[in-house]
Amino acid sequence: MAKSSVRLDAKIPEGPIANKWTSYKDHIDLVNPANKRNIDVIVVGTGLAGGSAAATLAELGYNVKAFCYQDSPRRAHSIAAQGGINAAKNYQGDGDSTYRLFYDTVKGGDYRSREANVYRLAEVSANIIDQCVAQGVPFARDYGGLLDNRSFGGVLVSRTFYAKGQTGQQLLLGAYSAMNRQIARGKIEMYNRHEMLDIVIVDGKARGIIARNLVTGEIERHSAHAVVIGSGGYGNVYFLSTNAMGSNVTAAWKIHKKGAYFANPCFTQIHPTCIPRSGDYQSKLTLMSESLRNDGRIWVPKKLEDAQAIREGKLKPTQLSEEDRDYYLERRYPAFGNLVPRDVASRAAKERCDAGFGVNKTGEAVYLDFKSAIERYGKEQAKIQGIENPSEAKILELGEDVVANKYGNLFQMYEKIVDENPYKTPMMIYPATHYTMGGIWVDYNLMTTIPGCYAIGEANFSDHGANRLGASALMQGLADGYFVLPYTIGDYLSSDIRTGKISTDLPEFEEAEKSVREQLSFFVNNKGSHSVDYYHKKLGKVMWDKVGMSRNAEGLKEAMAEIKAIREDFWKNVSVPGGMDEMNPELEKASRVADFLELGELFAKDALERNESCGGHFREEYQTEDGEALRDDKNYAYVAAWEYKGEPSEAVLHKEDLEFKDIELKTRSYK
């Protein structure tokens, strides 16, 4: 197949990186308040990125239509984010700054992020905290009443603001309250239980979407002067992931098939701190916040016979002495210890388990132990309370109270799922698919390669490179929605003030709706023999086994062939009960899995073409003897286009887009 080629213009402003955003805002075109009333914007997704964007655009005066497949915006998957949100406020006085947050983010992403976007992200991060405090978000505070901070992996400062283990939920409630204010004013028209199934392009510009009412089954046309995709990531291509079961790639994939380029699809984050899989019956995995690594120490037995005895139930972890425990992250990476970045921690856990040191029945678990922290906090509290010669029981009691105040809901969640008390017995954790750093390619304005179509938050590729640092997802989502898109979209919409309403009777809307109806009709009329989940699980197994934490050329080639075979069988033999014109969850899943099957093949192709190891992309052929990444340090974004015939096109490397002018390119080291 012939290569498709296009030069990507990132539209990064000229000048020093620290001045780019300020200079950009000073020179863009604006839409005055009276004209904003005549402009419509569609926002797909109501998580932190979509919700904050919808609220802010409506506050500015635009007419906003917001869509979510959940029954309420407050159920968007952003509520599942636990540990915190980064901001360069330097409240601890420990040396943090805008530049350090920028540098940590670019370095943590293995120098694969777009630097201009990341510096802007660090620059506006402090505003996010002020915005959320004003909304009433209950961030944790220290004894004196000031906002508290904790550390996350890959950094040497404390910059993460948090609300126990419910940070995402509390931030989303802030955005949701801002949305509700605009819904009440009539500036946001909210479409709950609606799913975008295609984008409509008129004269080369995004002018609307085709959506399905998931309650009635009705297919609807919606027009606007611009379309914003804030639909999250695609981790569910693995079937088992920390994502909600409904999380999907459909909105992003539909615009991709209409011309929006997809960048770095193989950059998928494996989160090191998840509750291990317990059986084939599971439909999702549960995240335990990375914040637990602040106080929890990760270890496995030093001796294979001890690990075997623990797996067989003959030995308890509490019976192992300190000398018989291997705190392998502290041993390998003494400077960062248990707070190494997620990709490093995940691969290290896999390596120990693959070597036979896993501690649960499946052999796929390591320990996260809070005993040392409980004892340390207990002794500190005894001093504070003036308790002389406290007993060991009293020290543990006081220490457990401190840990409960910091992480209590996480410990409760773990105990309900695993039926073990993590205060007394070390938690078991294992890596699982989590965040996706790849996504829709966007320029500095957050616009895709389709004029008038924007992608924000996890749906785009720009900020996290090959590995997202912890507590950066919430930062990016809210930065894009509250402080970036409202500026950049105005520059584009300034040319639309005389366009008038976009008619949904245009032939482009009719054609897009027809295509959607044909696919849905096929699913309900195809009398196959296998359920949608049957194919989703098969895809997930191939992805995890051959396109997971560690990849090699042979496995990737096999994965591409196997995924293609699964996809072909899916279109012949999938069975979807029920009809089109009714509530039909299986029909929803069928459309989503069809998109995952196409994405999975492109995902594997991306991984095969990328001849290096970096962050969430770890090629076995490109590593040193001690398992560290070995890279060729090319400065490129990998971009793949999709031919409309349904086959992935050849890869095209675009070095022009990422030149890494602003910081010295170094090999990442955490030793």
Angle 641-646-651 from CA coordinates, rounded to 5° = 30
DSSP H helix total and E strand total for the chain: 18, 19
Q: Which residues contact 273 (CB under 8 A, 6 or more apart)?
A: 287, 288, 289, 290, 292, 293, 345, 368, 429
Q: Is there a contact between 649 and 105 (Cβ–Cβ < 8 Å)?
A: no
Give, to the nearest 10 degrees, the angle between helix 115-134 and helix 167-185. 80
Nearest C-alpha neighbor of 109 from the set 454, 467, 626, 435: 467
Determine the Cα–Cα distance for residues 610 and 607; give it in Å rounded to an integer.
Answer: 5
Could you confirm whether 193 is annotated as catalytic? Answer: no
Catalytic: which of 75, 112, 325, 342? 342
Task: Return the HEC string of 444-485.
Answer: CCCECCCCCEEECHHHECCCCCCCCCCCCHHHHHHHHHHHHH
From residue 590, how far is each of 200, 241, 495 by CA, in Å? 22, 18, 39
For the chain, the helix, strand and coil percentages under 3-state DSSP, each to the nearest 5: 45, 15, 40
Measure CA 259 to chain center. 23
Determine the Cα–Cα distance for residues 170 and 138; give it in Å rounded to an integer.
Answer: 7
Query: Any idea which residue has 């200079």 for tokens?
Result: 23
Determine the Cα–Cα distance for residues 229 and 258; give it in Å rounded to an integer.
Answer: 14
Q: What is the dihedral of CA 520, 525, 530, 535, to 10 degrees?
A: -20
Q: Which residues contact 404 (CB under 8 A, 6 or more apart)?
A: 411, 423
Q: Is there a contact between 578 and 524 (Cβ–Cβ < 8 Å)?
A: yes
Q: Which residues of 551-573 are buried (b: 16+ CB within 10 A; e: fewer)?
A: bbeebbebbbebbbebbebbeee
Which token pair is 272? 């090191």
Determine the Cα–Cα distance for residues 115 and 395; give it in Å rounded to an integer.
Answer: 47
- Alpha helices, DSSP H, located in 482-552: 485-493, 507-525, 532-546
The set of catalytic residues is 342
